[in-house]
Amino acid sequence: MEPAGVQPLESGVSGATDFPSLLRRNGLLRAPIETNVTKVRDAAILPTQATTILAFKFADGVLVAGDRRATAGNTVVYDRADKVLEIDEHSIMAIAGVPATAWEMARVLEHSFQFFRRTQLQEMSVDGKVRALSKLLRDNLGFVMQGVGVVVPIFATFDAKASPSARLYFYDAMGAQFEAADFAATGSGSPAVRGILYYENTWGKKPLHKIGEDEAVVVALRALDTASEADTATGGIDRHARIFPMMKTVSADGIKTLPEERIAELFHKRVA
């Protein structure tokens, strides 16, 4: 039985432009709630925030990493947050901002790609995937204006049939999309991260797109550890609790989650 007040999904897909539109037409995805901004601010709401994420192209594809800390104001809410999410076999979304909103966007995006694949009998193009995330961010603008739902993601994907195969995008809170040539970083610790990545890409032994996977992990660890020294919302590496950043790579072989044991080994040998 369908829940009270919810109509069953239409069996046909005629006229369905995308998955979020289908959800809205059936009353399963509501538009942003109209709320008085002044009242929201006066309520002193402190939403949970996920912070620093980064991504850059390396020899095999794209490495995406994020620290594990989530905060609310000056309080550490959680120190094992997952900010690097798999959307499909060749797409990764990293989140900075309000996790509740970002995780919901990731779920809708994942089902959007599946919906397109099953109805059109083909994969959505990279440009289509990028615009789908941009549209979700624009639809979230009402919450952004209220200060309770800001999300600033990074999107990485790999298309072996295209040139270049590795594609990397970052966004602003209103949905504007920008393709990064080499690297991207968002969140409160991103200024320090961008400085490290620029230095490594410009004056390192090799440009980032030519380094191997182990070296890419080392660069990401150094960047996040540096950011944590200047930004309290960035967890970096917790040496006492042995908490390390979440890292995934996307390449021609698909998505790989780097084991924490390997990240810890490289940290102790090359960074600490």
| Residues designated catalytic | 51
Half-sphere exposure of 17 (CA within 13 A, CB side): 6
CB 115 within 8 A of CB 66: no
Spell 127-145 as b/e; 16+ CB within 10 A means b: eebbebbbbbbebbeebbb
Strands of the 183-186 sheet, one edge to the other: 183-186, 53-57, 61-66, 246-251, 254-257
Strand 75-78: give its sheet, edge to edge. Answer: 49-50, 70-72, 75-78
Distance, in Å, from the CA atom of 232 to the CA atom of 3, rounded to the nearest integer, reads: 44
CA angle (147, 94, 238) in 5-degree steps:
95
Assign 3-class secondary structure to 26-70: CCCCCCCCCCCHHHHHHCCCCCCEECCEEEEECCCEEEEEECCCE
Contact present, 40 and 147 (Cβ < 8 Å)? yes
How far is CA 192 from each of CA 40, 111, 236, 239, rounded to the nearest angstrom?
32, 34, 12, 20
